[in-house]
A = this chain, B = another copy of it.
Amino acid sequence: MARVATTADAFNAVAEPRRRQILDVLAGGERPVNDLVGVLGMAQPQVSKHLRVLREVGAVEVRGQGRQRLYRLNGQALKPIHDWVKRYEDSWTERFEQLDVVLEDLKRQEKGAGDGGG
């Protein structure tokens, strides 16, 4: 089998840097496709295709206004990512890193004292 589909979930959808860029722009507000094309400097069809993927995972919503289609961010779709990665947040807090250092020190001390404890 190949990789999990890009449309399988938000994780896979935003793994593509271009799609994160699109979301970053949309975070500033609703925008028509051509705006994204201009801002991001990608070809129009690619933008449309990326938007389709984002729409399929629910990360953007669209509404028509005249000839244009206005895309808008739906951050809710990113919540599963946040929820998952949040569990690892402690790993890079200073407190935790300090703890890491302490543990390393303890190990070194144990070795230094020989392994026949107490």
Contact = CB atoms under 8 A, between A and B. Distances in A.
A87 B16 CA distance: 17
Contacts of A76: 91-92
> Chain copies in the assembly?
2
Q: Which secondary structure dominates chain A's binding surface?
A: helix
B4 A3 contact: no
Instruction: Give the size range of A's interface with the partner.
Output: 20 to 34
Interface in A64-109: 73-76, 78-79, 81-82, 84-92
A49 interface: no
A45 interface: no
Interface of A: 3-4, 6, 11-12, 14-17, 20, 23, 27, 73-76, 78-79, 81-82, 84-92
